[in-house]
Structure 1
C-alpha cells in the first residue's frame, strides 16, 4: 500500500514539476527512475521480509526523493514548499545504509548518527529555508544568508564521513561470514561511493565543473543503491545452487563431511550441527558431546515428518533468507535423522563411561574412608594395647623378684600386637595406596615387599590425578600377585612411560610441571612365568584382572593382556590423564 501511495505521490510531483524545471536541476526521467526504483525495490524487500525495516526504508527513500523534487519547480509556491523537504531522502538514506541488511542498529553510535541525520533533514534544513535566496523566488525569505549553504555542505560532508566509518565497521564485523559479506558487498560499495562523493562535493567550490561532476556521481549512486540491494537479493538466490550440490553429495557422507557440506551450502564456516537429547535435554554434536551455541550464533531447527531431528547453529545473517535455510534443511533432513540416531548412541555411551568413572571415583572415596577408619579407629586400640603391654613389662622388670614365667608371655604379646599394628598399617596403605597422586612411592614399597626381584624402569612420573595413579597401582599389584601365585615367575619388570604437553612457565609450579603436563600414562608389567592367563567373562578368568580391566575401561583407557602358554605374561595399560 505504501509503495502504491508513494508511486501516486511521485507521479503527481513529476507532472507538476515537469513543465518548468529550472536549469541545472535533474531531469524528469532521471528523477522518476530513482524514485520508482526505490519504491519497487522496497516493496519487494518488504514482501520478502515483513519484519525487516530495510524494505520500509527503501520506500521512504523513494518518497523522500520525490518530496525533494518539489523544490525543482519553477513555480514560486511549489518551490517554496519544496525548500522544506529538499533533503527529505537524506535521513532515510542514512538510516537505510546504517541498518542494512537486518534493519537494526548495531551500536548506540549508529542510533545517534541516524537521529542526527533526521534532525538535520527535518528540523535544521526547514528552519533555514527562510534564509535561502534561491534561483526561484522564495516566498518565505526573511533574509538572504549565503553562508548557510556552505555550512550545510560542511554538515553533509561530516555525515558522509560518519557513514563511511560505519560501513567499514560493518564490513569488518562480517569477517569470517562469506554469506553476510556477499550480501553487504554491493550495497556497501555503492554506499561508500555515495558517502565519499557527498563528502567531496561538500568540500568543492560552488559552480565549478568538479562540483557538477560530483553531483552527477552522487545521483548515479542514488540509482545504483537500490540496484545494489537487488544484487544482494540475487546473490542469495544464486547461492541456492549450493543446495543442488548438497543433494548430490549427501548420501553416505560422514558427520564431519555433512557438516562441511552444510557450511558450504549456506556459506557459513562457523556452522555446526547439533542433535537433541530427549532423555537429558540440550543438544549434542555427532560425537555425542554436549553442544552449545558459540557467541553470536543462533539455532535453526531441522524437521522431518513434523519432528525436530537436528539444529543448525549459524550466523544470524542467514535468517535473512529463510527460504534458503529451509531448502538446505529439507535436503539434509533424512541424512541428519540417520546421524541423529548414531549421535544418541554415542551420547549414551559417553553417559555410560561417565557413570562408570563416577562409580570408580565413589569406590576410591569408599577406600579412602575405610583407610581413614582403619588408621583413626581400629588401629588406635591396638596401639594403646601395645603401650599398656610395654608399661606392664617395665613394671615387671622393676620388681625385686621378676616373674620369670610372666615376662616372656608379656614379651610375646607385645610382639604380636606390634605385628598386628604393622599389618594393619600395611592393609590401610594397600586399600588406597596413591591417594595423593604419587605413583612412584607406593610402587617402590610394593617392590620392597616382593620375595623375588622386580625391576622398575622409566622416568620418575610427576604427580597424577588420584584415580589414574590408583588404577596404575592396582594393575601392577594384581599382576605381581598373579605372577607369584599362578605364573611361578622368577622375575618381573615394570615399565612406566608417559607423554606430556608443554605448559607456560609459572614460578608457582615445581620443576616437573614446568617440563610439561602429563597427558597419557603407559604402563607394562612383564614376567617370565608359565603364561596362559586369560581376562574375559568366562569361568576360567580370574576376577582380579577383570576388575582391573573394567576400572581402566571406565577411565577411558586401554587394557591389553598377552599371555601365550609357556612364554610369560605381559599386562599393558594406557590411560588418558585429564587436567586436574
Structure 2
C-alpha cells in the first residue's frame, strides 16, 4: 500500500477519534460550542487531507503533501486536550499539540513549492512557530499542570507534569500567547513581502496560496491578540467566530493548492506533448517558456553544451556565460551520463532532485532535440564566421597585392619610362626602337594600373563606397540612382563594389544602393543577360546575405542584401 494512503488513513482515523473526544465533554470543545462547528472541524481537516493526498502523488510536491498531512493532524489534535477523555495518552498529546496547527500550516506555506525552506528567515519562522506553540504553549505550560491537584479527580493523568504550579503554568501560557502574537505578525509581514517582491510568474503560481494562508494567519493572530489579557487561548464567542474563519481559510488554502497542482499537471502534459512531437518545440522560445512557467521563473534560460562541453549557447546559438552573472544560479540537467542542458534560474528556486527527475522524464527528448538544434546552429555560425574571415582575408590580400604593384613594379616601370624620356632629350638622333620601347612601357604601366585597380581600388579604402562607385561611373556607362553617404564595414563595401564593377564592365548599367531594416541593399540592372556571378553569389551568401536575379524585357536585375551587423563580420569601418 502506498505511504500516502497510510497517511490518509491515519488522518481519517484521527478525525473520527476527534469527533468522539469532542462529544465526551462538549463544554471543553471549540467545535461543539460553535454553530456548525462540527462541519467546520471536519471540513477543514478533510480538505487538508484530500489536498495532501493529491500533492503526494507528484514527486516534486511530496514534501509539501507530507507537511499538509501534519497540518491536518494538528488541526484535529487541537480538540484532544479535552479533560472528558479517559485516555491519559490522548489527553497528554492534546495538551502538547493543541496550539500546533498554525506552526504546521506555516511550515507548509513557507516551504511551498518544493517542500524545502529556501531562506534563513523562512527557517527561523518555521522553527520559532514550533518552539512557541509546542514548546511553550504546549509542553512548557503542561509541565506545571496536574489536573488531579486542581480538584479534577476524574481527569486523565498528564504525562508531562513534573510539578503542580498553577501560577507558573499560567505565566508560561501567557508568555506563549505574547510570543505567538509577535511570531504571527512577523510571519504575516514576511509572507506579504515575499509575495510583493516575487516575479509575475511566481505571483500567479503561489499568489492564491499565499493569500489564503494570510487569511488564516490573520484570523489566528487576531485570536491571539484577543487572548493577551487573559493569558491563554479561550473559547468565548469571538474565539468561536475566529476559529470558524480559520476553518474557512484552511479550506480555501487546500483548494488553492489543489488548483495549482492541477495547473502543474496540465503544464506537465504540455511538456509531454513536446516529447511526443519535438518538432513543435523547435522554436527557440516554446520549450523555454514551458519550463519557465513550470518552475515559476519568467527569466529562466536554457544553455546547451556545444563542442567539447566547455562552451554553452541558447536555442538560437547565442553564447551563454557560465557561471551566470547577476546572482543567477545554474542547475545542470543530465540523462544518464550525458549532459543535455543547464538551467539558469533565480537564486532560491526550489529545484530538488525529484523535481529534476520529473522534469527530465517529461522533457528529455525535447531538450535533446533543442541541444542538437542549437549545436547545428552553432556549427553553422562557426562556418559562416569562418567564411567571413576567409572573404576578409582575401580582401586584405588583394589590398596587399595592389600596394605591392603600386609601390613596387609600377614605380619601377614609371622610373624606367622617365629614364627613356631623359635619354630621348639628350640624344640628337632618336632610334625607332627607343620610340617603340617607350610605347610598350606606357602600355605596360596602363595595364598594370588597371590590374591594380581591379584587385582593390585605393579609392574604395580611402574614400568609401559612394566615392568609389562614382569614380567608376566616370569611365563606364553607369547611371547612379541612389548612394548612401556613410561608411560601411570594409567587407561589405568591397562586395558591393565588386558586384557593380563586374556587371558594368561592358554594358549600360543602372545601380541603386540603399539601407533598410539593418541591411545594405544593392539593385543593379544591366541590358541583356546576366554575366557569370557565381563566385560573387557565394561571397554574398557567405556573408549571410541574399542574392537574387531576374531577367525580363531584355534586362537583368540583380539584388544583393547584406546584413550590416552580421556575426563574424569585420569591425573595421575605415577612416
Class of the TM-score when normalised by the shorter of the 2 chains = 0.5 to 0.7
Give RMSD over aligned pairs.
6.2
Q: Is the 8 A contact 2:519 2:562 kept in 1?
A: yes
Q: How do residues 55-454 of structure 1 correspond to structure 2 at under 5 angstroms? A: 55-65=65-75, 68-73=78-83, 82-125=94-137, 129=141, 137=150, 139-141=163-165, 143-144=167-168, 152-168=176-192, 177=201, 181=204, 184=206, 187-204=209-226, 209-222=237-250, 225-226=253-254, 228-233=256-261, 355=383, 358-372=386-400, 374-375=402-403, 379-380=407-408, 383=411, 427-428=451-452, 430-433=454-457, 434=460, 438-448=464-474, 450=475, 452-454=476-478
Q: Is the 8 A contact 1:457 1:494 kept in 2?
A: yes
1:468 equivalent in alignment to 2:492: yes
Q: Is the 8 A contact 1:39 1:58 kept in 2?
A: yes
Structure 1 residues 25, 364: CA separation in 2 closer, same or farther (over 3 Å shift)? closer
Structure 1 residues 383, 560: CA separation in 2 closer, same or farther (over 3 Å shift)? same
Q: 2:63 aligns with which of 53, 57, 72?
A: 53
Shift of 1:522: 1.8
Whole-angstrom distance in 2 between the partners of 1:476 and 1:523: 9
Shift of 1:475: 0.7
Q: 1:532 aligns with which of 522, 529, 532?
A: 529
Structure 1 residues 422, 18: CA separation in 2 closer, same or farther (over 3 Å shift)? farther
Q: 1:498 aligns with which of 515, 525, 546?
A: 515
User: The residue matched to 2:513 in structure 1 has which SS?
Assistant: strand
User: The residue matched to 2:56 in structure 1 has which SS?
Assistant: helix
Structure 1 residues 465, 108: CA separation in 2 closer, same or farther (over 3 Å shift)? farther
Shift of 1:188: 3.1
| Structure 2: unaligned runs, 5 residues or longer | 151-160
Q: Report the TM-score when normalising by structure 2.
A: 0.65
Whole-angstrom distance in 1 between the partners of 2:374 and 2:126: 52
Q: What is the CA deviation profile of residues 168-196 of structure 1, one whole-angstrom value per residue up to 9, with x for unaligned ones?
A: 45656775549x846x4653343121012
Q: Is the 8 A contact 2:402 2:456 kept in 1?
A: no
Structure 1 residues 318, 291: CA separation in 2 closer, same or farther (over 3 Å shift)? farther
Shift of 1:474: 0.9
Q: Is the 8 A contact 1:532 1:564 kept in 2?
A: no
Q: 1:573 aligns with which of 545, 560, 567?
A: 560
**Which one scores higher on RCO, CA 8 angstroms, separation ≥ 6?**
2
Q: What is the CA deviation profile of residues 207-226 of structure 1, one whole-angstrom value per residue up to 9, with x for unaligned ones?
A: 77434422332244345544
More displaced stretch, 148-157 vs 411-420: 411-420
User: The residue matched to 1:143 in structure 2 has which SS?
Assistant: helix
Q: What is the CA deviation profile of residues 87-131 of structure 1, one whole-angstrom value per residue up to 9, with x for unaligned ones?
A: 333332211011123212343332332233233334444585279
Q: Is the 8 A contact 1:374 1:424 kept in 2?
A: no
Shift of 1:199: 2.5
More displaced stretch, 455-464 vs 372-381: 372-381
* Aligned counterpart, 1:515: none
Whole-angstrom distance in 1 between the partners of 2:22 and 2:105: 23
Q: Is the 8 A contact 2:209 2:256 kept in 1?
A: yes
Q: Is the 8 A contact 1:160 1:195 kept in 2?
A: yes
Q: What is the CA deviation profile of residues 424-446 of structure 1, one whole-angstrom value per residue up to 9, with x for unaligned ones?
A: 67645543455589322322332
User: The residue matched to 1:72 in structure 2 has which SS?
Assistant: coil
Q: Is the 8 A contact 1:263 1:271 kept in 2?
A: no
Q: What is the CA deviation profile of residues 387-419 of structure 1, one whole-angstrom value per residue up to 9, with x for unaligned ones?
A: 79979999x99xxx9665799999999998898
Whole-angstrom distance in 2 between the partners of 1:149 and 1:353: 71
Whole-angstrom distance in 2 between the partners of 1:222 and 1:253: 41
Whole-angstrom distance in 1 between the partners of 2:295 and 2:266: 15
Q: Report the TM-score when normalising by structure 1.
A: 0.65
Structure 1 residues 389, 322: CA separation in 2 closer, same or farther (over 3 Å shift)? closer
* Aligned counterpart, 2:28: 23
User: The residue matched to 1:221 in structure 2 has which SS?
Assistant: helix
